[in-house]
Amino acid sequence: QLKISDKADKINPSLTLAIDSKLKQMISEGIKVYGFGAGEPDFDTPEYIRKAAIEAINTGFTRYTAAQGTLDLRKAICSKLERENRIKYNPNEIVVSSGAKHSLSNAFAAILNPGDEVVVPVPYWVSYTEIIKLNGGTPVLVNTKAENGFKMTKEELEGAITDKTKAVLLNTPNNPTGSVYGREDLRALAETALKNNIYIVSDEIYERLTYDNTEHISIASFSEDIRNITILINGMSKAYAMTGWRLGYAASNERVIKAMSSIQSHAVSHPCSITQYASTAALNGPQDEVKTMALEFEKRRDYMYQKINSIRYLNCQKPQGAFYVYVNISELMNRELSGVKINSSIDLALVLLEKANVAVIPGAAFGTDSYIRLSYATSMDTIVKGLDILEDFLDKNL
C-alpha cells in the first residue's frame, strides 16, 4: 500500500475527536447538551461588516486580489496597528491570509528549516505543535507554572534555547489559560529573544478581549530591533465575531512578509475578496460593538470564575483575557465518578458529556492533563444552567 508522507504521519489526530463525535451523536439524537467547548464568539458579525460584504458582492468586488491582500485592507491594518498597538508598519510589511491559523502556518513555512526548534510554552493552543511539525520544525515544550499565571519566564525561555532554536511562540491573551502577559514579562522575553537571535511569533488574536482594564501589550512595540524579529499575528475571528469569514494577518519585516506572500500565492492565492472588503470596513468602522461584546464576555467570566471556585473539587484562576476558564481538576484524579475511574482529563470530559450532558475540552489537548477548559463564549443562560448541572453531578456521583 502506498504510504503518506512522514510529515503527515506525524500529525496527531485531534485528542478531542472521541468527545466531538460523541457530542455530535448526542445532539443528533435531540439530547440537550450544555456546551462549554466553543472556541468562537456566539455573537453575530456586526451589521456594518455584513453590509460591506453585500456591497462587495453587488459592486463586483469578486475577482482575484493581490496575493498579499488588497492595499486598502493592508492600509487599514497599518492604521490599526499604529492606533492600538503603537507600532508603525507600512503595507509592504503586512500579509493577509485565510485566518490567523493560516497566517501562523505561512509564518512557520517562511522561517523554518528541517530540524529547527520552536519554543512553545505549555499549556499551548492545540494547533501550534502540529503547524510547526508540518513545516519541518520541532516544537520544544516549556512547562509554565500555575503560580506564575501560566506565563513563561525569561529563565524558562533561556533554559529551552539551543543552537537549533529558530523562534519562540507567544500567545497573549492566552488560549486556554486566559493569562495576559504584562509589559515587564514581555520585555524580558523580548530581550532574551533578541540576545539569542531568534524570531518571536506573537499570536495576539484575543487582544480585544481583556478584562479588569488589563492592557494588551504588543511585544513588537518595544523597539525597532524587537519589531524586526517579531512576526505579529492577529485576525478578525475573535474580536469581530467573524470566525467563518477567515481573515488573519501578519506584520513583520519585509523579507519575512514577502516570503509568506509567495508561499501563500502558490497555495491559495489570497483570502476571499469579499472577506477582505468586509474586514477593511470592520477595521476602519466604529469599534463600539467590539467593546460591547468584550463587556458581555467579562460579565460571563465573572460569573463562571466565582461559580467554578464555589464547586467542591474544582478551582481556577481569574482569566484576564480571551474567553476561557482553565479549571484545575487534580482533586478529581484517581477518584470514581459515576462508577468511572478518572485517570485523565479525557476520562473526565467523557463522563461529563455522557452522564451530565456537559461538554468541556480536556486539558490534555493543551499539554496539561490535570485541567479542563470551559469556554464562556456561550449564553449566560447556558453558563448558569450548565454549571449548576455540573455542580449537582459532582455532588451526587463522587
Choose one: 95-103, 108-116, 139-147, 362-370; the region binding ligand PLP (CB under 6 A).
95-103
Beta bridge partners of 297: none
Q: Which one among 37, 69, 178, 248 touches ligand PLP, defined by CB under 6 A?
A: 248
Q: Does 203 bind ligand PLP (CB under 6 A)?
A: yes
Beta strands across the sheet bearing 371-375 = 315-316, 324-328, 371-375, 361-362
**Residue 341 to residue 356: CA distance in whole angstroms:** 16
Q: Which one among 56, 205, 229, 325 touches ligand PLP, defined by CB under 6 A?
A: 205
Given phi > 0 = left and psi -120 to 50 = alpha, else beta, which region is 133?
alpha
Please list every residue from 163 through 202 that binds ligand PLP, using CB under 6 A.
Answer: 171, 175
Q: Does 96 bind ligand PLP (CB under 6 A)?
A: no
Answer yes or no: are the C-beta atoms of 252 and 55 closer than 8 Å: no
Q: How many residues does the chain have?
A: 398
Runs of H (alpha helix) within 86-197: 100-111, 126-134, 154-160, 183-195
Answer yes or no: are the C-beta atoms of 328 and 370 closer than 8 Å: yes
What is the closest distance, in whole angstroms, from the C-beta atom of residue 201 to ligand PLP in the complex? 11
Q: Which one among 41, 178, 235, 386 touches ligand PLP, defined by CB under 6 A?
A: 235
Q: Which one among 101, 208, 227, 373 touches ligand PLP, defined by CB under 6 A?
A: 101
What is the closest distance, in whole angstroms, from the C-beta atom of residue 342 to ligand PLP in the complex? 26
What is the closest distance, in whole angstroms, from the C-beta atom of residue 128 to ligand PLP in the complex? 8
Task: Show the binding pattern over residues 42-81: x = contacts ligand PLP (CB under 6 A), - = does not.
Answer: ----------------------------------------
Q: Does 367 bind ligand PLP (CB under 6 A)?
A: no
Residue by residue, what is the 3-state secondary structure of 36-87? Answer: CCCCCCCCCCCHHHHHHHHHHHHCCCCCCCCCCCCHHHHHHHHHHHHHHHCC
Binding site for ligand PLP (CB under 6 A): 39, 99-101, 125, 171, 175, 203, 205, 235, 237, 243, 248
